């Protein structure tokens, strides 16, 4: 998996991303640009632009820079970064488990059903800031915060889509808002950011402080939230656990299968690698020909014994290990 080195200058960061993903962004430009001919979609993008520039001006600057060097219209870059407008979703599975010695294990699968997460258009973004270094996995179209990541102060973050037909069109995309977590002051600050935000769509957040050995799971609806602190184990896929809501057989299977396998092994990465010959009876999706079915495109696992964050790119099977505390 390639790593893109970034700094604390948002416009220049965006320019680097525009250059890094130039080929892919231009390959899909016409697909997205044509959708802006739809009046409603254009108005949704315009509204999102105003909200972003007001609430997250630094991220807006980054996207301006991305538009500059990629050659795409700024509105196209915004449409790509706000999947709610086109009703695009993704799937993920996360396990956080407290061990007998007090340490915590963590593992997260990122599942996608499109071609937007191939080896050539995904990367681990590395923001080297004055007080910490921030890592976030994403693709050419999205921003940091859309998938998973970790920081040099020991904080791990992942987000799961929550199935719901409700979209608050007067609110900012959750894919953009979740970037705030990566640049938050602390674990507590990140929790408060989730609790107090009003996203355009529902999603689930996992926060894990590997230094103070604490973690929580937050189901964030548009106007409400449910926070569950780690006691023994936390498992989540893509349906609400604490309220009635939309679901499907796949999300239910992944959730219940993980719970079943946890009775047999403590190896979280092995659990999330479970596959079956039945497409709808698997946790780790495989679809090398990318026929439109979901594929587990990446995994982030924390090894508490080694103190390492391990990122696996399922496109080529490569793994990279990072100390959880580093500069």
Domain total in the chain: 2
Task: Judge if 97 and 170 occupy the same domain.
Answer: yes
Residue 70, domain extent: 3-86
Task: Tell which of 30, 60, 86 closes a domain.
Answer: 86
Task: Tell which of 46, 71, 86 closes a domain.
Answer: 86
The CA distance from 87 to 69, in Å, is 27
Task: Judge if 107 and 228 occupy the same domain.
Answer: yes
CA distances in angstroms from 133 to 5, 76, 323, listed in the order given: 10, 29, 12
Task: Judge if 193 and 61 occupy the same domain.
Answer: no
Exposure of 141 by Cβ count < 10 A (0-12 exposed, 13-18 middle, 19+ buried)? buried
Task: Quote the pLDDT of residue 88.
Answer: 78
Task: Judge if 27 and 135 occupy the same domain.
Answer: no
Task: Quote the pLDDT of residue 278.
Answer: 79
Task: Tell which of 49, 65, 86 closes a domain.
Answer: 86
DSSP calls for 116-150: GGSGGGEEEEEEE-SS-EEEEEEESSS-TTSSEEE
Task: Quote the pLDDT of residue 118.
Answer: 84
- What are the mean pLDDT values of the chain's consecutive 10-residue runs (327 residues total)? 96 98 96 96 96 97 98 98 86 95 96 77 95 95 95 96 89 96 97 96 96 96 95 95 83 94 96 85 76 83 95 92 73
State pTM to two decimals: 0.94
Task: Judge if 19 and 56 occupy the same domain.
Answer: yes
Task: Judge if 12 and 72 occupy the same domain.
Answer: yes
Task: Judge if 78 and 174 occupy the same domain.
Answer: no
Asked whether the beta carbons of 296 and 285 are under 8 A apart, the reply is yes
Task: Quote the pLDDT of residue 327.
Answer: 40
Task: Quote the pLDDT of residue 81.
Answer: 96
Task: Judge if 80 and 98 occupy the same domain.
Answer: no
Task: Judge if 124 and 193 occupy the same domain.
Answer: yes
Task: Quote the pLDDT of residue 54.
Answer: 96
DSSP reduced 3-state for 305: coil
- CATH assignment of the domain containing 317: 3.60.60.10
Task: Judge if 201 and 221 occupy the same domain.
Answer: yes
Task: Judge if 101 and 156 occupy the same domain.
Answer: yes
Asked whether the beta carbons of 110 and 297 are under 8 A apart, the reply is yes
Of residues 201, 155, 152, 154, the one with CA closest to residue 175: 201
Task: Quote the pLDDT of residue 91.
Answer: 83
Task: Quote the pLDDT of residue 247.
Answer: 81
Task: Judge if 32 and 68 occupy the same domain.
Answer: yes
């Amino acid at each position: 998996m390639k790593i893109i080195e970034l700094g604390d200058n948002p416009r220049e960061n965006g320019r680097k991303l525009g250059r890094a993903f130039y080929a892919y962004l231009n390959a899909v430009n016409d697909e997205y640009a044509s959708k802006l001919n739809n009046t409603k979609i254009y108005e949704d993008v315009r509204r999102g632009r105003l909200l972003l520039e007001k609430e997250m001006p630094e991220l807006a600057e980054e996207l301006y820079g991305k538009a500059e060097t990629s050659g795409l219209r700024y509105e196209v870059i915004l449409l790509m970064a706000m999947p709610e407008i086109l009703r695009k979703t993704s799937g993920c599975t996360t396990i956080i488990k407290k061990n007998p010695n007090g340490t915590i294990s963590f593992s997260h699968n990122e599942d996608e059903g499109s071609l937007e997460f191939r080896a050539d258009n995904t990367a681990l973004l590395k923001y080297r800031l004055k007080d910490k270094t921030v890592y976030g996995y994403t693709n050419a179209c999205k921003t940091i915060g859309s998938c998973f990541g970790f920081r040099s102060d020991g904080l791990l973050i992942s987000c799961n889509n929550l199935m719901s037909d409700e979209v608050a069109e007067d609110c900012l995309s959750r894919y953009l808002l979740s970037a705030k977590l990566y640049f938050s002051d602390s674990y507590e600050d990140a929790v408060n950011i989730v609790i107090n935000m009003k996203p355009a769509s529902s999603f689930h957040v996992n926060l894990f402080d590997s230094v103070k050995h604490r973690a929580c799971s937050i189901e964030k609806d548009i106007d409400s939230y449910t926070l569950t602190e780690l006691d023994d184990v936390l498992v989540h896929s893509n349906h609400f656990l604490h309220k009635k809501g939309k679901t499907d057989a796949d999300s239910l299977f992944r959730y219940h299968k993980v719970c079943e396998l946890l009775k047999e092994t403590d190896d979280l990465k092995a659990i999330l690698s479970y596959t079956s010959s039945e497409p709808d009876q698997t946790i780790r999706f495989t679809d090398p020909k990318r026929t439109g079915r979901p594929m587990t495109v990446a995994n982030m696992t924390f090894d508490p014994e080694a103190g390492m964050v391990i990122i696996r790119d399922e496109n080529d099977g490569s793994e990279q290990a990072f100390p959880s505390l580093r500069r």
